[in-house]
Amino acid sequence: MTELLEVSGLCTEFVTDAGIIRAVDGVSLSVRKGETLGIVGESGCGKSITSLSIMQLLPKRIGRVAAGQIRFEGRDMLKLSPKEVRNIRGNRIAMIFQEPMTSLNPVFKIGRQISESARFHLKLGKKEAAERAVEMLRKVGIPRPEKIAQQYAHQLSGGMRQRVMIAMAMVCNPQLLIADEPTTALDVTIQAQILDLMRELQEKEGMSILMITHDLGVVAEMCDRVVIMYAGQIVEETDVATLYSKPLHPYTQGLLASLPQLAGDSDRLTSIPGQVPNPANLPNGCRFAPRCPRRIERCEQVRPELLEKEPGHRCRCLLVEEEIS
């Protein structure tokens, strides 16, 4: 498979009152044509900042990509002019955000918001763009799309708003769709409908998906490969089947152990003790060491590298390093 997106050594920094904070530290990943890559981790691990770095939507003046490359279709996005980036963003790469109400403009009708991208990127006339907007609403399963196109965001349910966001992202037939927690605020039934819709559109259009989530159930259902992030770094990467059958990193093992079980002797949920470290005060050695049940003395002193134990299976752990060596 050919790589559509290649991120190499990505470092993203923010200026804060506590100084310069590195929220993403040396992340390297790739998304192949037609596949779905999942990025998983707790809140604050850097997964959303990674996606915003790719889209170049970091807050101005306080956020910046300090190092690395973001190559999309062979071109380094970080070396393109703002105009060239705008021509790619929303066109070749589109993004669905976590909360539609913060992404949809409350004072413009739904149809106008969808048609704007079609007019800008596809150079359609006003009437053609409006027809394209209605067509996209119909494609994402919204009933009475002509009527919905004339309504405002607050008049729609959460599931309908998320479908509108997908229609807006898909209006230009992007090659890569970045979905940042697309089902978090929805009930279980609507979540399943949205995931089915995304999978159906992917099969029809042949696009790639970068799925950002904390839900391992979504990963099992949607993803081909998965990247596990912790404290701004990738700690494990493999295909989904291997992730569930043979997780290597203690953090990944902890995440899987914390999933609710349908059968068992105890109704108590397993949890990972402690919290994600403050990026302004990271541990000297392994960043997961303070919470790791398997840590040894070296873990608190030596920073592990992200190494490949088996083809396609990378892990950042000193215990795994010892097994490889």
Round to whole Å and give the CA distance between 165 and 106. Answer: 13
Instruction: Please tell me the predicted confidence (pLDDT) of residue 182.
Output: 85
Quick check: is 208 in a domain?
A: no
pLDDT given for residue 18 in this prediction: 82
Phi–psi pair at 82, nearest 5 degrees:
-55, -35
What pLDDT, on the 0 to 100 scale, is given for residue 220?
A: 92
Taking the model in full, what pTM does it have?
A: 0.91
152 part of a folded domain = yes
Give me the residue label for tokens 């030596």: 302
- Look at residue 145 and tell me if it is in a domain: yes
The C-alpha atoms of residue 114 and residue 249 are separated, in whole angstroms, by: 42
Geometric angle at alpha carbon 228, from 227 and 233, rounded to 5°: 100
Q: Tell whether 134 is covered by a domain.
A: yes
d(CA 133, CA 131) in angstroms, rounded, equals 5
Q: What is the 3-state secondary structure (H, E, C) of the chain?
A: CCEEEEEEEEEEEEEECCEEEEEEEEEEEEEECCCEEEEECCCCCCHHHHHHHHHCCCCCCCEEEEEEEEEECCEEHHHCCHHHHHHHECCCEEEECCCHHHHCCCCCCHHHHHHHHHHHHCCCCHHHHHHHHHHHHHHCCCCCHHHHCCCCHHHCCHHHHHHHHHHHHHCCCCCEEEEECCCCCCCHHHHHHHHHHHHHHHHHHCCEEEEEECCHHHHHHHCCEEEEEECCEEEEEEEHHHHHHCCCCHHHHHHHHCCCCCCCCCCCCCCCCCCCCCCCCCCCCCCCHHHCCCCCHHHHCCCCCCEEEECCEEECCHHHHHHHC
Ordered strands of the 233-239 beta sheet? 93-96, 176-180, 208-213, 36-40, 225-230, 233-239, 313-315, 307-310
Give the count of domains, the chain: 1
In a domain, 107, yes or no: yes
Exposure pattern of 265-285 as b/e (b: 16+ CB <10 Å)?
A: eeeeeeebeeebbebeebbeb
Q: Is residue 157 part of a domain?
A: yes
Q: How far apart are the first and last CA of the chain?
A: 30
Give yes or no for a contact between 24 and 8, defined as CB atoms under 8 angstroms apart.
Answer: no
- Which pLDDT does position 47 carry in this prediction? 93
User: Which residue type is seen at 171?
Assistant: V
Residue 271: per-residue pLDDT: 84
Distance CA 14, CA 22 (A): 6
How many residues belong to the chain? 325
How are beta strands 36-40 and 208-213 bridged, if at all? parallel
Q: State residue 184's pLDDT score.
A: 75
**Is 164 contained in some domain?**
yes
- As a dihedral over the C-alpha atoms of residue 162, residue 238, residue 248, residue 184, rounded to 10 degrees, the angle is 0
Structural domain harbouring 127: 100-171
> Which tokens go with 231?
């404290």
Classify residue 69: in a domain, yes or no: no
Cβ count near 177 (within 10 Å): 23
> What's residue 318's pLDDT?
94
- Residue 144 C-alpha from the chain's centroid: 31
* Angle made by CA atoms 161, 97, 134, in degrees to the nearest 5: 40
The mean pLDDT values, 10 residues at a time, for the chain of 325 residues are 91 92 96 96 91 93 95 94 92 86 86 92 92 92 93 90 90 92 81 88 92 91 96 96 95 90 64 88 94 93 93 94 78
